[in-house]
Amino acid sequence: LADSVSTVSNLHVTALTSDNKLTLLYKVKKGVCDQSFGIHVAELAHFPADVIEFARQKAQELEIFHKIGGAGEIDDTDEPSAKRRRLEVKEGEKLIDEYLQAIRSLPYKEMEWAELKKEMSRLKQSILSKGNAYVDALVTSTAM
């Protein structure tokens, strides 16, 4: 919103977490928050363990993207880099949609396994060749 409305700016409240406690410091700082405390709050509220684990995995993916996301080092006031990351995510999601559509359109029932594997590899390389940091971070975090 701060990118599209000139009178809006991003602020966040700092906090500490330790020993299953969340302490809000009530210190307001400029910029986008570098971490979310939603998982800590979910634990305190006794959410199911599988929900918390899924949230941790997603948070890790986003954290990897935040570090790799094409913006270099980021400080609390680097609003343009936050905007670049959002644009990178949006472009990455479009690339992923196109990739999935291409996969769905493969005539896999008519293809030999080796041929299907080769075509899927080609599609994967095609999406990676776009150089989108969001896609690269997702692929890197899920690669085995």
Per residue in 27-65, pLDDT tens? 888 887 766 778 888 888 899 999 999 988 887 777 666
Which whole number is the average pLDDT over 113-129?
93
Question: Is 74's pLDDT higher than 60?
Answer: no
Question: Which range has the top average pLDDT, 17-31, 46-60, 108-122?
Answer: 108-122
- Cα–Cα distances in Å, from 7 out to 1, 4, 53, 134? 10, 9, 38, 29
Cα 57–Cα 60–Cα 63 angle in degrees, nearest 5: 155
Size of the chain in residues: 144
Report the pLDDT value the prediction gives residue 78, as an integer from 0 to 100: 53
Band the pLDDT of 73: cuts 50, 70, 90: very low
Q: Could you tell me if 83 and 125 are in contact, meaning their C-beta atoms sit under 8 angstroms apart?
A: no
pLDDT of amino acid 77: 47
How many Å apart are CA 15 and CA 18, to the nearest integer? 10
Q: State the burial class of residue 14 (Cβ atoms within 10 Å of its Cβ: 0-12, 13-18, 19+).
A: middle
Model confidence pTM above 0.85: no
- pLDDT for res 120: 92
The more confident residue out of 76 and 105 is 105
Separation of alpha carbons 133 and 71, rounded Å: 9
